[in-house]
Amino acid sequence: MPHLYDFSATDGSDRDLLGGKGAGLARMTSLGLPVPPGFTITTDMCRAAMATGAIPDDLWPEVEDAVARLEKTSGRHLGSGPAPLLLSVRSGAKFSMPGMMDTVLNLGINDDVVKALIEWSGDPHFGWDAYRRFVQMYGDVVLGVPEHRFQDVLTELRRSRGVEDDSELSAEDLETATTRFRDIVEQERPGELPEDPMEQVKGAITAVFLSWNTKRAVEYRRIHSIPDDLGTAANIQMMVFGDLGDDSGTGVCFTRDPGTGEKVIYGDYLPRAQGEDVVAGIRNTLTLDQLADLHPECHRRLLQIMEGLETHYRDMCDIEFTIERDVLYILQTRAGKRTAAAAVKMAVAMVGEGLIDRETAVTRVEPDSLEQLHRPRIADRVKGSASLAVGVAASPGAATGKVVFSSEEAVDQARNGAEVILVRPETTPDDIHGMAAAVGILTSQGGKTSHAAVVARGMGKPAITGAAQLQVDYEAGIASTGSVDIRRGDVITIDGTSGVVYQGEMELVPPEVPSELGDLLEWADQIRILGVRANADTAEDATLARGHGAEGIGLARTEHMFLGERLAIVQRVILSTNPTDREEALGDLERQQIGDFESLLEAMDGLPVVIRLLDPPLHEFLPSRLELEHEMLRRVRAGRPIDDLQAMSDQVARWEEDNPMLGLRGVRLGLMLKDLYRMQARAATTALTRRIQAGGTPHLEIMIPLVAAAEELIRMREMIETEITAATAETGVELAIPIGTMIELPRAALTAGEIAGVADFFSFGTNDLTQMTYGLSRDDAEGLFLRDYLEQGIFTSDPFQTLDRPGVGRLVRVATREGREANENLVVGLCGEHGGDPDSIYFVHSLGLDYVSCSPPRVEGARLAAAQAALQSDRNDV
């Protein structure tokens, strides 16, 4: 087996051996495109080097032969004139890997060659610029000399010449720079900058291969689950020069508009420049139309190539090209990045054009990106404005409004018609109503899975969390960045898609949902097997979810119905020692719950609605003792009595828990305060009966939370069935109510076989299941260590965003299999945050689950992800 292949020697179909970049170069060469000649050293060589710790000696003769062929093809010569050959060396693994050494340009230059180069080009500026670029890049990338040392030299030169840009330096300046650069390299790595051109090439190749095992690269592979034995290839290619006078230049173009998806070509061209200058955005670029004026023939050829590549790759292509003295070269092509709207538009258009089929179209759009389509965004032309702070992009879309620091104020102001942004250190379930009243949420703590983020996403509202520069003092009504204070009533704008907070009002662009989205999602629905329901607690959410294509409600959290104004009633139920008072409070709640359930069933008429009985960590329903003590302190200082607070504090103390997440919650509360769950069961049967009597076709299911042992479910089932029988006896209306359970404790998953015997359905509550399996509370971990863990790579992903397959996922698999073995009619769903996460959807599809349930704004993405799952992964129909 040869160690390397010329670009012209293969058709580029073997990406494993040639890497992604090498395969693309070979493919374009085989298509007859004007690719500068070169060759690819295979990934085999990298693997051999890793095994022995050194590059095998027998590689070098092959490299020398290949360079000789290159010289022949190009008519240029490595290390000498009249036309000196300069080379680039680039790594290229099968998958793009930012952790590795990337590119060294202008190899093959030294004090002699630079003279030949100047002679050949007739341009000393060009020659010395190439030389200083080589020393700088080799020094930085291959030898690890700190980049700032080179920059310091350039800065000083620019300052002394009074110019802004390196390109304005004279040839003499660049010669000076070259000399100084060489001194720096000699200082830092004595004797390591080769003079001999071939040694330069070999040094760069060696460095590319060794970079495969740098700590950063290993880390990156671990994080992205890329096998270590894949290896990288190395691509050695003739340099062409876009900076070789006014008839040269370099550019990037797209075969369609990456911003809108329209079928119009789009590109930037920069005369007299090397590739990196285009990206740096130092000078204004020209359009492709302007290019046509400068180089009509190159422009015609480029358009032809663009069309050919799109047809060949059947996707929008992003193409890098260089024009050297009026000759066009293509340096690279790949599928181009695009906005969500563009992706949708293109995918559907390409089906219409017969370029791709519907299955392919469905895989062309990132499920996560669909959420953005429904949100306003900041107008492009104001995007550059100065930001106040940057936090976590927690929920996409932009919002402008007056700052409020409490949920009460948010509700009050919203009632008066104001648009407000709720600013808090963090949010708690007490803030739900304030969040609902606000147009956007900003917190100084928490990450992507904090309460604020999760709830905001659920509500479809823009949110930024963890904007740590902001010190929020909500008592004083000030959020301060240190230099700027934002006060109650000040207007700010938040961009939840980027995480940036702006001062003042910004122009917003309303959401534009591409008309093609409906087609794409319809195709997805035809492909997918996994059902998609929504988590919704109100008729409003249910209606929204239904609009997004939800096939029912997979999780209605009744505890959310108990917050806000009803909280006081719930507290009476829990704390009251007077039975009549308690009874009355329960009656109140029951009347309200009936209404809640009726409206949910009406909004989802004909589709299943899973009502989860109360599952609060108890402390969320009770006043905080710390705050009570706080308030007492305040009152004592003001000379006011505190007896009522003291009494309340004593009552609450009886229910106090050190670890409420592990305490009296869910079914435990249901078994200790039996009349609470009984009230809810009764409200459910009454609501169902009324909807049937009203001529609807409601499908109500009751779900029991936090079951650890089958016996808990048995007792609850008995109680609920008693209520159903009683209801039918009273009204004569037959009720069919499936009764199931959350699987959210490891023990429930481990004893799923037993539990399935008494359950009609399972729904994995993967938020809690993740908390218990890892033994970590999401809210606590966020602030104290989870972010550090992710940054340090101790955890490769946030298990609250993407389902942890080896741990939590294993429990899901075991429980699904054993549950179905015990009860073949068992319906199995998942209703945690993960229900909207594409990677998690792929996984649960492969496990054979029946449905996922996610927040309404994520329903469309989930439909798409479910279709992608069906296309890409095996389903284990257990």
CB of 450 to a copy of itself, least distance (A): 13
CB of 612 to a copy of itself, least distance (A): 16
Nearer to a copy of itself, 552 or 809 (CB): 809
Best CA proximity match to 812, nearest among 776, 770, 873: 770
CB of 444 to a copy of itself, least distance (A): 13
Token digits of residue 151: 């920059």
d(CA 103, CA 237): 11
d(CA 677, CA 671): 8
Residues 431 and 406 sit within 8 Å (Cβ to Cβ): no
Is residue 433 flagged as an active site residue?
no
Interface residue list for a copy of itself (CB under 8 A): 619, 625-626, 629-630, 632-633, 636-637, 655, 657-664, 668, 671-672, 706, 708-709, 711-712, 715, 744-747, 750-751, 754, 768, 771-777, 779-781, 784-785, 788-789, 792-795, 804, 806-808, 810-811
Nearer to a copy of itself, 295 or 557 (CB): 557
Nearer to a copy of itself, 17 or 745 (CB): 745
Phi then psi for 821, rounded to 5 degrees?
-60, -40
Nearer to a copy of itself, 34 or 663 (CB): 663
DSSP state at residue 11: -
Residues 106 and 204 sit within 8 Å (Cβ to Cβ): no
**Tokens 């960590």 found at:** 617
Is residue 630 flagged as an active site residue?
no
**Which residue in 451, 548, 619, 834 is the catalytic one?**
451
d(CA 798, CA 694): 46
CB of 225 to a copy of itself, least distance (A): 14
d(CA 850, CA 271): 57
Q: Is 732 left (phi over 0), alpha (psi -120 to 50) or beta?
A: left
d(CA 684, CA 311): 58
Nearer to a copy of itself, 46 or 632 (CB): 632
d(CA 421, CA 404): 6
Residues 200 and 138 sit within 8 Å (Cβ to Cβ): yes
d(CA 27, CA 9): 10
Amino acid at 682: R
Helix, strand, coil percent content, the chain, rounded in steps of 5: 50, 15, 30
SS (H, E, C) 728-787: HHHHCCCCCCCEEEEECCHHHHHCHHHHHCCCCEEEECHHHHHHHHHCCCHHHHHHHHHH
d(CA 119, CA 84): 10
CB of 767 to a copy of itself, least distance (A): 12
Angle at alpha carbon of residue 426, lines to 422 and 429, rounded to 5°: 85
- Strand, helix or coil for residue 508: strand
d(CA 614, CA 691): 22
Best CA proximity match to 347, nearest among 220, 723, 338, 757: 338
CB of 535 to a copy of itself, least distance (A): 20
C-alpha separations of 258 from 24, 309, 352, 502, 534 in Å = 21, 16, 18, 26, 31
DSSP state at residue 663: S
d(CA 127, CA 114): 6
Nearer to a copy of itself, 325 or 810 (CB): 810
- Strand, helix or coil for residue 52: helix
List the beta strands (DSSP E) in 751-874. 761-764, 827-830, 851-854
Phi then psi for 253, rounded to 5 degrees?
-140, 160
d(CA 361, CA 358): 5
Q: Which residues pair with 828 in a beta bridge?
A: 762
CB of 22 to a copy of itself, least distance (A): 33
SS (H, E, C) 113-164: HHHHHHHHHCCHHHHHHHHHHHHHHHHHHHCCCCHHHHHHHHHHHHHHHCCC
d(CA 347, CA 337): 13
Q: Which residues pair with 424 in a beta bridge?
A: 443
Nearer to a copy of itself, 278 or 743 (CB): 743
d(CA 377, CA 427): 24
**Which residue in 3, 831, 834, 845 is the catalytic one?**
831
Nearer to a copy of itself, 709 or 733 (CB): 709
Best CA proximity match to 78, nearest among 203, 160, 196, 172: 196
Phi then psi for 400, rounded to 5 degrees?
-125, 135
Nearest-10 crossing angle of helices 859-872, 517-527: 50
CB of 807 to a copy of itself, least distance (A): 4
Q: Which residues pair with 377 in a beta bridge?
A: 509
The catalytic residue positions are 451, 831
